[in-house]
Amino acid sequence: MPELPEVETVRRGLQPVMEGARILSVEQRRPDLRFPFPEGFADRLAGHDVVALGRRAKYLIVHLDDGGILICHMGMSGSFRIETGGEQQTPGVFHYERSKDARHDHVVFHLRRRDGARPRVVFNDPRRFGFMLLTDTKSLETHPLIAGLGVEPTGNELDGALLSRLMGHRRSPLKAALMDQRVIAGLGNIYACEALWRAELSPLRGAHTLAAPPGTASPRAVRLAEAIRAVIAEAIAAGGSSLRDYVQADGSLGYFQHTFSVYDREGMPCPRAGCDGVIERIVQSGRSTFYCPVCQR
């Protein structure tokens, strides 16, 4: 499953191609992905201009000139490919390599940009856990996928006081509470592990231990809020710079691996200066948690 920074790098890669472009036509090559495509999917998009390409949690939100909205989710294995003339580019950088097999090209957006260029944006998804749905501006916030989402982990809204309030009454382990999309939207397994390591907090500690009197923040919550925003921002920044390299090099990029402190590093020494701990892997709520039992308390 792509994590939020990966989705954001995809958004940033698609943005200069899609924003301001007209959708001339849409080729929908199968009736469904994870869900059936909406009735008249291609016809409802054709002829409209893309006014903005946004993101909420791991959903790409395509805003059209008539108030229509296309919600895209990349699922496990989805990717977008930009084809301009003979050139191809797959924006975004992923922990796992993306398919370029044309058999898995399920949707093709034929675009016309204001400068006359006619790029195609191709959605490829071998496992077909991705999906595309339609809504409109006035219904977006109440859409079933969007309405229950918690705070974005990227913005200033997520601070210590909010985290103390969100976590304060929860008895579940801190890691599980962080992964709850109703609390924080789009903070996936990798970055939950990384943020907890950075904040020196154990994933096993009860979420309620971040509690503070109403309107205030516990020191732990302040540390964790800063850590969450930092690990996400750094991953997005790294993705942005890799994106530029990618266009030239056309190589597979695994940079996320190199920036992890604990994720996927079971048995390796804790990278924190002065800590002689060894990274352990445990399973929480069916997901692997990586952490250092020495410095994360």
Binding residues (CB under 5 A) for Zn ion: these are 270, 272, 275, 277, 292, 294-295
Q: CA quadruple 32, 38, 40, 46: dihedral positive or negative?
A: negative
Check: CB of residue 106 under 8 Å from CB of residue 34: no
Least gap, CB of 175 to Zn ion (angstroms): 16
175 in active site: no
58 in active site: yes
Q: Which is nearer to Zn ion, 110 or 272 (CB)?
A: 272
Backbone phi, psi, residue 211, to 5°: -65, 155
DSSP state of 10: H
Question: Residue with structure tokens 């699922």?
Answer: 75
30 in active site: no
Backbone phi, psi, residue 138, to 5°: -75, -15
Least gap, CB of 126 to Zn ion (angstroms): 38
Comparing CA positions, the residue from 69, 58, 64, 67 lying closest to residue 11 is 58
- Write out 230-279 in H/E/C secondary structure: HHHHHHHHHHHHHHHHHHHHCCCCCHHHHHCCCCCCCCCECCCCCCCCEC
Least gap, CB of 272 to Zn ion (angstroms): 5
126 in active site: no
CA 248 to each of CA 87, 101, 187, 245: distance values in angstroms, whole numbers, following the listed order = 11, 21, 30, 5
Q: Which is nearer to Zn ion, 251 or 274 (CB)?
A: 274
DSSP 186-220: T--HHHHHHHHHHTT--TTSBGGGG--STT---HH
- DSSP, collapsed to helix, strand or coil, labels residue 172 as coil
Q: Which is nearer to Zn ion, 190 or 270 (CB)?
A: 270
Q: Which is nearer to Zn ion, 94 or 263 (CB)?
A: 263
Least gap, CB of 270 to Zn ion (angstroms): 3
Q: Which is nearer to Zn ion, 82 or 270 (CB)?
A: 270
Q: Which of 3, 6, 8, 194 is catalytic?
A: 3
Q: Which of 55, 58, 229, 265 is catalytic?
A: 58
Least gap, CB of 220 to Zn ion (angstroms): 17
Q: Which residues are catalytic?
A: 2-3, 58, 287
